[in-house]
């Protein structure tokens, strides 16, 4: 699932967050949207796991602040 998160804490070390995420989900992807400043995470980890990972990285957020982005999958490539 894709997650959209607004971080209200200092500078974001995307690499550090990604290293922590990869321990929970080896296929996880993290990036920072330069236009909006939102953190985007693609993962199979649950929102509470992602909240714990962000807290460990120095960016505590509440689970309700982690927004699940609706899928844009058309199903064409898998079927």
> pTM of whole model > 0.95?
no
What pLDDT is recorded for position 76?
A: 76
What pLDDT is recorded for position 28?
A: 95
Domain CATH code at residue 48? 3.30.70.100
pLDDT in tens, the chain (79 residues): 999 999 887 788 999 999 999 999 999 999 998 888 899 999 999 999 999 999 999 999 999 999 999 887 777 776 5
40-50 burial, b if ≥16 CB within 10 A, otherwise e?
bbebebebeeb
Full residue range of the structural domain in which residue 57 is found: 2-78
Looking at the structure of the chain, the number of domains it has is 1
What pLDDT is recorded for position 78?
A: 67
Rounded-to-10 torsion of CA 7, 41, 29, 49: 90
């Amino acid at each position: 699932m894709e997650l959209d998160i607004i971080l209200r804490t200092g500078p974001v070390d995307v690499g550090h967050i990604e290293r922590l995420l990869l321990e929970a989900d080896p296929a996880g992807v993290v990036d920072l949207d330069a236009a909006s400043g939102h953190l985007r995470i693609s993962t199979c980890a649950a929102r509470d796991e992602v909240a714990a990972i962000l807290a460990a990285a120095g960016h505590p957020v509440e689970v309700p602040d982690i927004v699940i982005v609706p899928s844009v999958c058309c199903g064409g490539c898998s079927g």
